[in-house]
Amino acid sequence: MTFPRCFKSPTFLYAAGGAVLLWAALPPMDLWPLAWIAPVPWVVLIRRKELAGPKAYLALWMIGFSFWLAALHWLRLPHPATSIGWIALAAYFAFYVPAFIALSRSAVHRLRLPVILAAPVVWTGLELARAHLLTGMSMGDIAHTQYRWIALIQIADLAGEHGVTFAIVFVAACLARMLPCENSPLSPPSSSLPSPLSPLPFSIWPLAPAIMLLAVVLSYGYWRIANTASSPGPRIALIQGSIDAVFGSEDRKVRDKFYAQYFALSQDAVKKAAKNGEKLDLIVWPEIFFKERLIALDADAGDNYPEVIQGKISGEKARENIRLWAAHNMLAFAETTNKLGTPILVGLDTENYTASGVQYFNSAAYVSKAGELLGRYDKIHLVMFGEYIPFADLFPWIYEKGLTPLSGGMTPGKEPVAFDLKYRLRRSALDERTVRIAANICYESVLSHVIRKQVNVLREKNQEPDMLINLSNDGWFRGSSELDMHFVCGAFRAVECRKPFLIAANTGFSASIDANGRVLQKGPRHETETLLAKVDLDSRRSFYLQYGDWPAGLCFAGCIFFAIAGIWQRDRRRIRNAREKTS
């Protein structure tokens, strides 16, 4: 078997080396120190005068495609149809690899910028773009490999996780700048091997800026940790069941099975807390695991209801049937909370009957221990192809003809919601306090700007939350590395917002994370567990929460400038060459 020449080129080999190192730094191998050297081969390609080999940028795209297929392999697990999305997403993300090389080369070779600055600027700018385009995706970011290095990730409250990315790529670029850069990495040096007395064949000076940057970043991190301002908060049980999710498994028996496991685990949590002489203030279940739907009916709702509800009746009689159905389902909440003796925050489906038809939401319901619905949050940032199909509202036959495993699309929520949770420091009623919590659902926690916007919207309404709680169902991914990639996002959201971040996730990983991003408790992989989290509240403010992604935005602006500069100089060279031929 013969391979295309571009697969044998030095460009391909260097790029493949960087991709392998970066993949090994991510889960499932999780060799996180490799992230600091993974970009080095790519930066070497940036420094070279020419990219060796035919179709060099095609080779770079192929490397990117292979890397993302391996990193996001778990996208194929939920359903055979999701393999199409897996391949399409990998093909799209693959373009970021040649874009990184091309834009950085424009900055270095055309604008004469130092590579130790150009490379981190371009990488960070493109990472920001990837977090926003096509609804955004940041799982697999190089910064996520460093979540255990608590002092390092504190800069996320200044520049978000993109600030950590900039630091990593800056250090890697400095390491690459230390290496000799021949025109062809496979050719021998232009001179004979140096004698023991001759100068070293690499530069030492790039170590200085790398060490200086790390010193500044870590000094800031240790200072922020040392000035933690915390106070005791509520006791919250995070319930982690372990039931693999399957498309189409929404019948009554399956929902009852889900409920039975989570209710039993909740009872165990109550007993565990009582054994320690404590009383729980809240029990949290993951996304979509309550046995009943939440039914809502708008005052101006008409007759446009499914036949299963309306049947042969209409008008006020149909509306009355819906009200009875809603009341019946609320009894399930009362039955649950009365037996547990604790308020609950649970993920579930909501059906909202409106004048224009039925809306379906992915919701979090906050219910008092008396069974009263105290509030509801509807997921705002939906997952494309997971919770809706683009343009399916215009072409409903996409759902009707079974072209997707989804039977219909979800409706995005309108705004974030904060819930007031009462708790006691001690058993005396005089010690009762109130803490404000805000729920986010599943992949909303993946994106920095989504959580930041939700917190800031609540702040503008004088309802800024004191802690964030994520409800997830990762049972689609069979205990794969998706669990690791999703879980890590919570640590960065905690630092960015300077708020405790709790996770209740089906099949894992449930976790309690403090405002410094430190993982205090973590559930097992693909097994059941109850985590009793004693939450410490934090009063520090966050620059990132206030001002957002403007540092990464400047890097993205740099990417645009480098692209324009590269195109302009290329066109000038073409014009000059054309004139020389005609003269």
Q: In the structure, what pLDDT confidence band is assigned to residue 140 with cuts at 50, 70 and 90?
A: very high
Task: Judge whether 105 lies within some domain.
Answer: yes
Q: Mark whether 463 and 506 lie in a shared domain.
A: yes
Q: Which residues contact 32 (CB under 8 A, 6 or more apart)?
A: 25, 145, 146, 148
Overall average pLDDT of the 263-283 stretch: 94
Task: Judge whether 395 lies within some domain.
Answer: no
Q: Mark whether 521 and 557 lie in a shared domain.
A: no
Q: Mark whether 211 and 129 lie in a shared domain.
A: yes
DSSP state of 110: I
Report how far apart, in Å, the C-alpha atoms of 66 and of each of 17, 30, 58, 97, 136 are: 12, 18, 12, 11, 20
Distance in angstroms (rounded) separating the CA atoms of residues 541 and 35: 30
User: How confident is the model at residue 577, as a pLDDT?
Assistant: 63
pLDDT digits (tens, 9 = 90+) for 11-56: 889 999 999 999 999 999 999 999 999 999 999 999 998 887 668 9
User: How confident is the model at residue 1, as a pLDDT?
Assistant: 46
Structure-block tokens of residue 285: 């279940």
The burial of 30, by beta-carbon neighbours within 10 Å (0-12 exposed, 13-18 middle, 19 or more buried), is given as middle
Q: Mark whether 309 and 450 lie in a shared domain.
A: yes
Would you say 86 and 73 are in contact if contact means Cβ atoms under 8 Å apart?
A: yes
Of 23 and 296, the one with more pLDDT: 23
Range of the domain at 337: 230-380+415-539
Task: Judge whether 532 lies within some domain.
Answer: yes
Structure-block tokens of residue 169: 């790529």
User: How confident is the model at residue 508, as a pLDDT?
Assistant: 87
Does this model's pTM top 0.75? My answer is yes
Q: Mark whether 244 and 210 lie in a shared domain.
A: no
Q: Mark whether 75 and 103 lie in a shared domain.
A: yes
Q: In the structure, what pLDDT confidence band is assigned to residue 551 with cuts at 50, 70 and 90?
A: very high
Distance in angstroms (rounded) separating the CA atoms of residues 554 and 6: 34
Residue identified by tokens 């460093």 is: 146
Q: Mark whether 273 and 153 lie in a shared domain.
A: no
Can you give the CATH number for the domain in which 458 is found? 3.60.110.10
Q: Mark whether 578 and 535 lie in a shared domain.
A: no
Outline where DSSP puts E strands in 425-466. 432-441
Overall average pLDDT of the 396-420 stretch: 74
Distance in angstroms (rounded) separating the CA atoms of residues 497 and 514: 11
User: Does the pLDDT of residue 380 top 50, yes or no?
Assistant: yes
User: Does the pLDDT of residue 317 top 80, yes or no?
Assistant: no
Q: Mark whether 238 and 103 lie in a shared domain.
A: no
Task: Judge whether 196 lies within some domain.
Answer: no
Q: Mark whether 145 and 44 lie in a shared domain.
A: yes
Task: Judge whether 389 lies within some domain.
Answer: no
Give the total number of structural domains in the chain.
2
Distance in angstroms (rounded) separating the CA atoms of residues 273 and 262: 16
Mean pLDDT is lowest, of 241-255, 534-548, 568-582, for: 568-582
Q: In the structure, what pLDDT confidence band is assigned to residue 190 with cuts at 50, 70 and 90?
A: very low
The burial of 206, by beta-carbon neighbours within 10 Å (0-12 exposed, 13-18 middle, 19 or more buried), is given as buried
Overall average pLDDT of the 287-309 stretch: 72
Overall average pLDDT of the 524-536 stretch: 96
Report how far apart, in Å, the C-alpha atoms of 547 and of each of 164, 291, 438, 494, 503 are: 17, 41, 20, 16, 26
Q: In the structure, what pLDDT confidence band is assigned to residue 285 with cuts at 50, 70 and 90?
A: very high
Strand-pair category, 418-424 with 373-378: unpaired
Mean pLDDT is lowest, of 52-56, 411-415, 434-438, 449-453, for: 52-56
Q: Mark whether 208 and 250 lie in a shared domain.
A: no
Neighbours of 196 (CB within 10 A): 4
Task: Judge whether 404 lies within some domain.
Answer: no
User: How confident is the model at residue 250, as a pLDDT?
Assistant: 60
pLDDT digits (tens, 9 = 90+) for 504-524: 999 989 999 999 999 999 999
Q: Mark whether 129 and 86 lie in a shared domain.
A: yes
Give the closest residue to 60 by CA, choosing from 90, 92, 95, 88: 95
DSSP H or E run through 167: helix 161-178
Tell me what percent of the residues of the chain surpass a pLDDT of 90: 67
Task: Judge whether 438 lies within some domain.
Answer: yes
Report how far apart, in Å, the C-alpha atoms of 374 and of each of 344, 364, 418 are: 10, 11, 10
Mean pLDDT score of the chain: 87
Would you say 423 and 522 are in contact if contact means Cβ atoms under 8 Å apart?
A: no
Task: Judge whether 121 lies within some domain.
Answer: yes
Would you say 475 and 508 are in contact if contact means Cβ atoms under 8 Å apart?
A: no
pLDDT digits (tens, 9 = 90+) for 319-373: 788 888 888 888 999 999 999 999 999 999 999 888 777 888 999 999 999 999 9
